[in-house]
Amino acid sequence: MKDELQKLIKNSSDPKLINDVFGFAKKAYKDKNRLSGENYIHHTTRVALTLAEAGLNPTTIAYALLHDTLDDIPDSAKKLQLQEIEKKFGKEIAELVKRNSDLAKIRYPLSAIFSEKKNFSKEKIENLRKMFLAIAGDLRVVLVELVSRLDGLNFLNTLSEDKQKIFAFETLQIFSPIANRLGLNKIRRSLEDISFSFLFPEKFNWLNKNIKEEYKQREKYLKHFIPRLQKILKKEGIRNFETNYRAKSYWSVYKKLVKRDMDFKKVHDILALRIIVGDVPTCYKALGIVHKYFKPISEEINDYIAKPKSNGYRSLHTTVFSDKDRITEIQIRTEQMHNEAEHGICAHWSYKEKINLKKFNKDFEWVNALKIQNSNLTEESLPEFWKSFKINFFENQVFALTPKGDIIVLKKDSTPIDFAYAIHSEIGNHCELAKINGKVVNLSTKLENGDIIEIIINKKRNPSKDWLKFVKTSLAEGHIKKFFNQKETFNFPIPGFIKKKIIEIAQAAKNKKIQQEQIKKDKIRHIYLAGQKGMLINVAKCCKPEPGDKVKAYLTKQRSAVLHRTSCKNFIRLSEKFPEKIIDASWD
């Protein structure tokens, strides 16, 4: 551990802070081991070293060392530990550690999915990702959690198979997409591939066995093809360009193979060749040169410069017959586009969270500079956004949970009453009391991200007008107002003589209805079927025969007779089709 500590101190602009924090962390983790059996200090030191290599500031490194200090201890002990951290290292670091501890709330809905074998829709998973970010509230918390999770994946084989599956599932569904949105592609690929190997070991082993040869063959070919392509580009006047290639992650390849009938020959970008040039006009010039010398597959030419992908990705893509029996994908882009593709501009936020990218574009510039390894970033070179670190994407929302682990997205500062109405209007109307995280609270209590809400109802309980003073959602407000509007409509004071008149009118209407029903029965009583009176009979609704009409009856499957006018179209059709079921009928 001494060597690791010396590395952290040597590269820090505040070595005293790092040294003091390390000493505190070592004591805090003294009797605490991870599920792998390893003491927490080893894990948190590795996380801190990774972030130090990225050039992050001493505050972030200090927080990384302390990020697990609140794990596996009672709430009362957490409070004391936080007070001690704040006293020694300041409010900012204490707040980061607290937020990191709060991220454990994300496991509640995930464990519900596994324990109850629930179906999880894309919407549910997306809400989980949003809830994670809302609870984190700070990019440093997100980054530390991603690096921490990657380190944990490296020790996943020490856990039970069930825990491996849950950890891998969480990573693949929640953390990997978030890394992708932040443009942390190196972390994303590692998260995906390790999780893939534990979640679907047979599929991973099959792919691993088959893809190595594919990688080997394609890499050997590209090493032969690239000098040839470089020569052509230089000959045609392209200057100051770079060529390289990258291997697609196993998980990405597998997803593509599923769509391509598991045929490697149909996946052309397992190794994608890149041409990086100086400006946009040169991108198009290079594309024309490539097509001049190599026949393209027309349906696989994509201009993501003129029309970027929904996540902001820009590049020209073409797939060509680089040799008679060889197909190669080539991507052409500028240096700026390449940096965006490799390190991200967080354009995913714009697409998924409906954020105005123009408004936030300057804030996203920090990601362009971020490199998890071999970075020369200094605290002074970090943009303002990295210095504030705040995640404001969901500042107007709160993510609360039902006892079964379903996420309810509400307006910020919503209360248990808002939550109850979001579940169902009847639950809201009869809400008697609420529990937050197992404790009974006032119905006006503001909800926080990750709170588990239990609503207790009483059928005799009705909404209170006081609720309108603190509810935040229009849904809750609308239902409460509706209840009182209906109540007022039917409970205004009515003078006695008006009440008497209303009763008389109602009684007269009731008598008239009884009289009409009796007339119908009397009519039917006078009908003869085949000369017999008093048989079970119904009057057809299609022609409604009256006394004096020429009528006949049709015998149904239930052996009841239906009386029709003889001129009724339905009766004529039935008599032609089933003449044996027609019975003579008359009124006398």
Looking at 32-46, 214-228, 510-524, which range is the least confident one? 510-524
Angle between helix axes 416-423 and 474-490 (nearest 10 degrees) is: 80
> What pLDDT, on a 0 to 100 scale, did the predictor assign at position 187?
83
Looking at 87-91, 246-250, 320-324, 409-413, which range is the least confident one? 246-250
> What pLDDT, on a 0 to 100 scale, did the predictor assign at position 137?
84
Q: Break the chain into its structural domains and give their ranges.
A: 2-184, 203-343, 406-490, 496-586
Task: Of 59-73, 352-366, 490-504, 538-552, give the range with the top mean pLDDT.
Answer: 59-73
User: Beta strands 326-334 and 397-401: pairing type?
Assistant: unpaired
* Fold of domain 406-490: Ubiquitin-like (UB roll) (3.10.20)
Looking at 75-89, 289-303, 490-504, 537-551, which range is the least confident one? 490-504
- How far is residue 433's CA from residue 441's CA, in Å, rounded to a whole number? 8
Question: Half-sphere exposure (CA, 13 Å, Cβ side) for 237?
Answer: 6
What separation in angstroms does the CA of 30 have from each of 43, 281, 333?
13, 60, 51
Q: Is residue 111 over pLDDT 50?
A: yes
Q: What is the mean pLDDT of residues 483-499?
A: 68
Residue 340 tokens read as 């965006």
Looking at 194-203, 383-392, 503-512, which range is the least confident one? 383-392
Looking at 139-143, 194-198, 368-372, 408-412, which range is the least confident one? 368-372
Domains 203-343 and 406-490 share a fold: no
Looking at 217-221, 426-430, 519-523, 539-543, which range is the least confident one? 519-523
Q: Is residue 374 over pLDDT 60?
A: no
What is the CATH code for 203-343? Answer: 3.30.460.10
Closest CA to 277 of 216, 223, 336: 336
Residue 243, H or E segment: strand 242-247
Domain 2-184 annotated CATH 1.10.3210.10: yes
Q: What is the mean pLDDT of residues 463-473?
A: 93
What residue has token string 């670091």?
93
- Model pTM? 0.66
Q: Is 379 or 78 the better-scoring residue by pLDDT?
A: 78
- How far is residue 94's CA from residue 78's CA, in Å, rounded to a whole number? 11
Closest CA to 334 of 313, 309, 359, 311: 313
Q: What are the helix (H) ranges across 107-184?
A: 107-115, 122-136, 139-153, 161-170, 176-181
Q: Is residue 486 over pLDDT 80?
A: no
pLDDT band at 260 (very low <50, low <70, confident <90, very high): confident
Q: What is the DSSP letter of 445?
A: P
pLDDT, tens digit (0-9, with 9 covering 90-100), for 7-39? 788 778 888 999 999 999 999 998 888 888 889
- How far is residue 332's CA from residue 330's CA, in Å, rounded to a whole number? 7
Sequence-distant contacts of 568-572: CB under 8 A, at least 24 apart: 568/540, 568/542, 568/543, 569/542, 570/540, 570/542, 570/543, 571/540, 571/543
- How far is residue 385's CA from residue 408's CA, in Å, rounded to a whole number? 30
